[in-house]
Structure 1
Amino acid sequence: MARAERIEAAVAGAAGAGEVPGAAWWVGRRGEPVSTGAVGVHAPGTGDAVRPDTVFRIASTTKPVVAAAAMSLVDDGLLTLDDPVDGFLPELADRRVLADPADPEAGTVPAERPITVRDVLTLRLGLGLDFTAPWPSPTLAALAAAGLPVGPPAPQAAPEPDEWMRRLAGVPLSHQPGSRWLYHVGASVLGVLVSRAAGRPLAAVLDARVLRPAGMRSTGFGVPSAARDRLGPHWTPPGPDGARELYDAADGQWSSAPAFPDGGDGLVSTVGDLAAFARVLESQGCAADGTRVLSEAAVRAMTTEQVGPVDDEGGGWGLGIGVRRTDEPGGRHAGSYGWDGGLGSTWWTDPVTGTTAVLLTNQMWASPEPPPLFAAFRRAAFGGSTAGGISS
């Protein structure tokens, strides 16, 4: 079976077996499509088909896109990686740090140094999810108590950015700045940092610096009325009885712009738009039409691993983006970059083979571990690839 057939069979088989209601995918080599398509429906039991231009909630796959906007500001000198963020985010100045991240009763100590732009991009500002600690950690409990819960995306639930930062300022850091990778919260902070550094709302900065130059016409923090027919409902995984629950309706939380555009998990997009974004990084900063979006230096910095292991499976982190530290048996090589979203999305590019693979579904994951469909899709997309091309 040829690679394109294996990819389609993996996705269509999962939809046909009821593993997901619907999905769209794009797999290519050096910007040229190898396999692209869509299967399934927007809602179980209906005939409303998912299409290649369907708009999906991409959750944490948002993170690299917003990081690109930050690196554009670095290119223009509006941000400097190793400068403190205090000037733009005074709420993060003079922070206190838990003496024991597992025991809030142990008190706090002063931060040893200011939080830098690099700390925010590498998720080492001292706040976030620690996957090695019991859930919820004292820090996550404190965030929830402040009205900033860390859970599945809910864009209409958060306050506007200034109030969001004011609440965040009341939560002590769990680790010293620069000392530990902690997931997610730094990406939300990054969105506020980008907005304040540029002097414009995050959505406007992202549109001007990344989305329009890259040709990403269907990506944003909400869906305009003209495109509303391309956004379907989103679902939870099937329960023990096989039934799904509605997570978000078609006219739900992403049908209008949120008060807090979350740089960690707030975007919607399409497989074509994410392929266009991947093309920018693969082309060292240029869009398909030659428009320069980022400098080559910015792309190299983003896609270079910066923090050490973030899991036990070869994962690492660059500047706002996942970067594999090791070869994946039968799949992605070390240096591959991209990220996944817990609402059912994945995008990765393997620079060794020039292979990019995007898969978007309308069903959230049941855990941080990807469902079987995603492993099967990656095997079909990346498995057997060689430096000289994509084997059949």
Structure 2
Amino acid sequence: MVLHLTGSDWAAGSAHASGAALLLGLLLLIALAIRMGDGMGSILNKTRVRQAITSAIIIVVLFIYSGVAFSIQPSLHIAQAHSLENQQQWQPAIDEYTQGGEQAPDGADLARTYTSWGLALNKSQHYNEALTKFDTVIQKFTASSAQSEVHRAQVGDIAARLSLSRQSLDAKDYDGATKSLDTILGIPYCDNTCQTQASALDATAYYNIGEGKLQTQDYESAVNAFDKVLTKFSSAPEAGQLHGDMAKALLGMGKQERSSSCSSAIPTYQRLGKEYGDTNEGKSAQKDLNAPQDITGHFTNIETDVPFNQIGLTTGLKGGMGKDELFAKWDGSKKTNIQDNGNFAFHGISQGNYDLIWYANNGSYEYVEFIYHQVSQEPTYVAEVGPLCPVNMGNVTNVHTV
């Protein structure tokens, strides 16, 4: 009985007692054999039968005790594991359950201990450590016997993740919060309650990202963050709060796009005018979209004897037109001078398509000319004036096109 208390756990003490009982039994068996041969078995010993039977019973009891003490070790591991689990000594309990033969995927006691450990860590706000315990249960304990514990672990896992997300929000780590919350929303066991909570927090995080990016004039990132709120969390209060700031972000982004690649800014301005026309930014964008534009280019004259010095914008030019008709088009065109270096510029041209025509007067004769494709008879140089962006015609030359 003393040896039962000497092991590192109950099973080890039982093993010690088992070994001692086996050794005592063997020693008694040897002693009995020696004594029987040394006179105890003599017919002159009137108590020989009682002595032999008593010794045999003791030896058998010791052998039985040794076998039983050895065979109950798994049960002792399990019993001690239950005791340790009740004392919330989680890792020792897990060790005992494991030595008792429990393992994934169907060790319900192990799964329960891991889950309870995770929930205790949640309660003490050690959320990352809790997640490792829950993950062990969710990933490894797949048997039906452990499904109730898997469900508990899933609930605890969601609670830990939401708590970590709230911590990120409180610390104004909005990027970290959105990453965590986006992950939560994609987890299969995130139920309706989970979806509602995570969505509300995620909308707040993205809204705050947008506001921060707007303040630092990172307009594209602000627009992207606000769009997340509008598309993924349209029913969140933040979706109704960002209207004015989204207009500011779109206008800021549009201006940046316009300065680097004007055509890329057109969709931004169009969205701003269409969806945020009630804001000052939307009205400004629509005004810019409707505004006339400039047309610039460079004229290269290969006819050295004809001094073309004016260029015009007209419509309806076609190959094979008569002289009078062509001069009439010139007379009705919007004209500008061709500079000595060949550059020309039109200012404030309404949106539309314009054919380019040029003019010369050498004091004796007037010349009007345009270049067209010989097959289609359509003008080669057509200025397409659209919204927002000036038009650069590049090099315009009177080389005939095939």
Which TM-score bucket, shorter chain as reference? Answer: under 0.3
Q: Which structure ranks higher in relative contact order (CA pairs < 8 Å, sequence separation ≥ 6)? A: 1
TM-score, with length taken from structure 2: 0.18
Choose between structure 1 and 2: higher helix proportion.
2
Q: Say which one has the larger Rg.
A: 2
TM-score, with length taken from structure 1: 0.19
